[in-house]
Amino acid sequence: MTVKETVKSEPQGQIAKAYKFAEIAHSKQKRRTGEPYFVHVLATAEILNSWHLDEATIVAGLLHDTVEDTGTTSETITQEFGDQVTFLVNGVTKLGKIKYRGAEAEAKAENLRKMILAISEDLRVVFIKLADRLHNMRTLSALPPQKQRRIALETHEIYAPLAYRLGMQNISGELQDLAFPYLYPEEYRWLKAQVAEAYEARLKYLEKLKPVVQKALEDKGIRSATIDFRAKRYSSLYKKLLRQSMDVENIYDLVAMRLILKNQEACYGALGIIHSMWPPLPGRIKDYIAMPKPNGYRSLHTTVIGPEKKIVEFQIRTEEMHDEAEHGVAAHWIYKAHGGANPTQQKRVFDEAKWVEQLRRWQEHHAGTNPDEFLESLKVDFFRDRIFVITPRGEVLDLPVGSTPIDFAYEIHSEVGDTAVGAKVNNQIVPLSHELRSGDFVEILTQKNKKPSEDWLTFVKTSNAKDHVRIALRKKQTGLRKMAPLKSEIKMVTKDRVGLIKDIAVVIARSHVNLEGLTTALVPGGNFQSIKAVCDTADKQKIERLILKLKAIKEIKEISYRLLEHQAA
């Protein structure tokens, strides 16, 4: 049932009440598109409804702009709709104040902190914000260009990754696709022209293949398979093209064939049947059912050499997995309704939810656990035991739970870690063993020539910090005090371009790595140059992360690194 239908069928319900309340509150406002403003809040609520969220969330979705954009006070919301709804609306209002511009570090830090706090307090606030953003992105063309760019950038860098992290891949992908033409208009036009033909051809080919697959499955007793095609999203296609020499012909999963089956056994069965018909490409069989992606995504993927020697990607999953891939954590939120909502709503919610069986099973396993504990377990699970803290420069670092200022210091830079003498958290001095929490502002006090102390090893959490402390202690013991920090050299073979060196230097600086030297030389033949960058770190993890980022620069054709011998200072 849609929100509109619920309003009709339950005119006395909370949703109907919020609907009328919002309609009146926004009656004088229009959107840039010329439509009444109410259209936007209703669309937001409809999106939340389609994710099967609970009543309070849908009510808050209808009311989400009343405090910000109309004269309504949060006291009025509390009187009319209670504390829970007010809490959600206030959360969204707070998130609305966040304006990410990608540059102003100060504003970024403060705002990201708010956002992160809101996340850890109640994920439903984030769901409303994502639904709100989704509708705003779908209607972005009505805004002036500058605003379009800012909102698209924020979507690209903050909200889409956030949705992905919450397992809402589909929503994340849609947000990225909506942002793409605004951020990269030329690339978008190029891509559209490139892809149109290839896409047509692939689709025709798969249409022919579909009945063949269907029959093969049925012959082996796998019935009621839903087979459809999933076109690769423009945004992820573009990312892939950047890695693969910009040749659309090389993208095998431009359109993938998706099989949705009854149960897990059928999935593995289907995989076997497909492999018996067409040889799979080595290294392309992915079992995300046995080993889900970190964000919870489950599916079997394989790529085979199909008829006419054409390469086809298959994605195989159950309906439940499919639903989870679409809705992510939102899919689990329904449980809340099971605990507190009225019977009609419970029924509505249960009728629509396909994964409810899974939750029932969970409940059997955890008999006696109350819903709050269940939600708690979800939170921990979905944030994968990570905390988010903010650097004085306004960047967000994610660290394992239990991390201390020392872990933080080494994450920023090995030298900061080695010379740390004290720490401030939210402007208050704390011991170096202090346990950090999400949303903390952390600052490290350093003193030149200080050395790590052995007892740091008893409380640091990250292997990065442990390794560095050990290295520093070893140096201390062997009396090699004057040793210069270990270095590394990154070697790249690139095409030349004006501004390339600057781009490389920027990527390095953003990774908190100091560039100590950079040399370029022409590779014989004249088409390529080789660039060597000496960096002041020998932290393999850090360098490998940096290399991943550098690979996104399309002129870089080859990249490798080596650790340099340490030299006396």
Interface stretch with Mn ion, choices 57-65, 255-263, 327-335, 419-427 (CB under 5 A): 57-65
Residues 325-384 that bind Mn ion (CB under 5 A): none
* Residue 310 dihedral angles phi and psi, to the nearest 5°: -95, 150
Counting beta carbons within 10 angstroms of the beta carbon of residue 525, is it exposed (0 to 12), middle (13 to 18) or buried (19 or more)? exposed
106 among known catalytic residues:
no
Residues 238-257 that bind Mn ion (CB under 5 A): none
Q: Which is nearer to Mn ion, 72 or 403 (CB)?
A: 72
Spell 214-244 as b/e; 16+ CB within 10 A means b.
eeebeeeebeebebeeeebbbbebbebbeee
Catalytic residue among 10, 23, 46, 68: 68
Least Cα distance to 306 among 336, 278, 326 occurs for: 278
Catalytic residue among 10, 46, 69, 435: 69
Q: CB–CB of 331/358 below 8 Å?
A: no
Two structure tokens written together for 339: 């605990």
Distance CA 406, CA 109 (A): 21
Q: Which is nearer to Mn ion, 63 or 329 (CB)?
A: 63
Reported as type and span, the H/E element at residue 96 is: helix 74-96
Counting beta carbons within 10 angstroms of the beta carbon of residue 12, is it exposed (0 to 12), middle (13 to 18) or buried (19 or more)? exposed
Distance CA 213, CA 227 (A): 9
We find the least distance from the C-beta atom of residue 400 to Mn ion, in angstroms, to be 35
Q: Which is nearer to Mn ion, 147 or 545 (CB)?
A: 147
We find the least distance from the C-beta atom of residue 95 to Mn ion, in angstroms, to be 10
Residue 154 near Mn ion by CB under 5 A: no
Residues 168-227 that bind Mn ion (CB under 5 A): none
We find the least distance from the C-beta atom of residue 65 to Mn ion, in angstroms, to be 4
Q: Which is nearer to Mn ion, 138 or 243 (CB)?
A: 138
We find the least distance from the C-beta atom of residue 462 to Mn ion, in angstroms, to be 39
* Overall size of the chain counted in residues: 569
Q: Which is nearer to Mn ion, 132 or 313 (CB)?
A: 132
Residues 105-134 that bind Mn ion (CB under 5 A): 132
- Max CA-CA distance within the chain? 80
* DSSP per-residue letters across 276-320: HHSPBPTT--EETTTS--TT----EEEEEE-GGG-EEEEEEEEHH
Distance CA 147, CA 149 (A): 5
68 among known catalytic residues:
yes
Residue nearest to Mn ion (CB): 132
Question: How many chain residues are in contact with Mn ion, going by CB under 5 A?
Answer: 2
The interface mask with Mn ion, positions 59-88, x = CB under 5 A, is ------x-----------------------
We find the least distance from the C-beta atom of residue 91 to Mn ion, in angstroms, to be 13
We find the least distance from the C-beta atom of residue 6 to Mn ion, in angstroms, to be 20
Q: Which is nearer to Mn ion, 65 or 177 (CB)?
A: 65
Distance CA 195, CA 265 (A): 36
Please list the active-site residues.
68-69
Binding positions for Mn ion, rule: CB under 5 A = 65, 132
